[in-house]
Amino acid sequence: MPAPLAPSTTLRLLHIDAGREWRGGQRQVFLLARGQRERGSEPLVIAQADSPLVKRLRASGMAASAMRMRGDWDLGAARRLRAHIKAWRPDIVHAHDARSHALAMVALLGLPRIPLVVTRRVAFVPRGRLKYGRRVSRFIAISQAVRNALVTGGVSEDRIDVVYSGVPAQRPEAHRDWRTELGWPPDAVICGLVGAMTSEKGTSLLEEITRQLSPTARSRCRLVLLGGRGAGLEEVSGVPCYRAGFVDAIGPAVAGLDVLWHPSAAEGLGTSVIDAMALRVPPVAFAVGGLPELIASGESGLLVPPGDVTAFASAASQLIEGTELRQALGSAGPGQAARFGVEAMVEGNEAVYRAVLAAQTSGAVRG
How far apart are the C-alpha atoms of 322 and 271, rounded to whole Å?
Answer: 25
pLDDT at residue number 58: 97
Q: Which residues of 149-163 are buried (b: 16+ CB within 10 A; e: fewer)?
A: bbeeeebeeeebbbb
**CA–CA distances in Å: residue 142 to residues 4, 24, 166, 223, 340:** 16, 12, 10, 29, 11
- Region 280-302: what's the mean pLDDT? 97
Residue 76 has pLDDT above 80, yes or no: yes
How far apart are the C-alpha atoms of 197 and 177, rounded to whole Å?
Answer: 22
How far apart are the C-alpha atoms of 155 and 305, rounded to whole Å?
Answer: 28
Percent of the chain exceeding pLDDT 70 equals 96
pLDDT at residue number 366: 43
pLDDT at residue number 51: 96
Percent of the chain exceeding pLDDT 90 equals 86
pLDDT at residue number 130: 83
For 329, what's the count of Cα atoms within 13 Å in the CB-facing half-sphere? 27
**CA–CA distances in Å: residue 175 to residues 224, 253, 255, 282, 327:** 14, 6, 5, 15, 17
Residue 195 has pLDDT above 90, yes or no: no
How far apart are the C-alpha atoms of 266 and 287, rounded to whole Å?
Answer: 9
9 pLDDT band, cuts 50/70/90, is low
- The rounded Cα 85 to chain-centroid distance in angstroms is 26
Please give the model's pTM, rounded to 2 decimal places. Answer: 0.92
8 pLDDT band, cuts 50/70/90, is very low
Enumerate residues 6+ apart whose C-beta is below 8 A from 223. Answer: 191, 192, 193, 206, 210, 236, 239, 240, 241, 242, 261
Secondary element (H or E) of residue 149: helix 144-152
**CA–CA distances in Å: residue 126 to residues 69, 103, 254, 269:** 21, 17, 33, 17
Q: What share of the chain is helix, strand, coil (3-state, %, to 5)?
A: 45, 20, 35
pLDDT at residue number 181: 96
Enumerate residues 6+ apart whose C-beta is below 8 A from 244. Answer: 224, 225, 226, 227, 230, 253
106 pLDDT band, cuts 50/70/90, is very high
Question: Dihedral of the CA atoms 317, 319, 324, 325 (nearest 10)?
Answer: 120
One-letter amino acid at 69 equals M
Dump pLDDT digits (tens) for 110-150: 999 999 999 999 999 998 778 999 899 999 999 999 999 99
Dump pLDDT digits (tens) for 247-277: 988 999 999 999 999 999 999 999 999 999 9
How far apart are the C-alpha atoms of 335 and 15, rounded to whole Å?
Answer: 31
169 pLDDT band, cuts 50/70/90, is confident
pLDDT at residue number 171: 75
Domains and CATH numbers, the chain: 12-166+341-366 (3.40.50.2000), 178-339 (3.40.50.2000)
- Region 203-221: what's the mean pLDDT? 96
- Region 178-183: what's the mean pLDDT? 97
Report the SS3 class of residue 359.
helix
pLDDT at residue number 2: 43
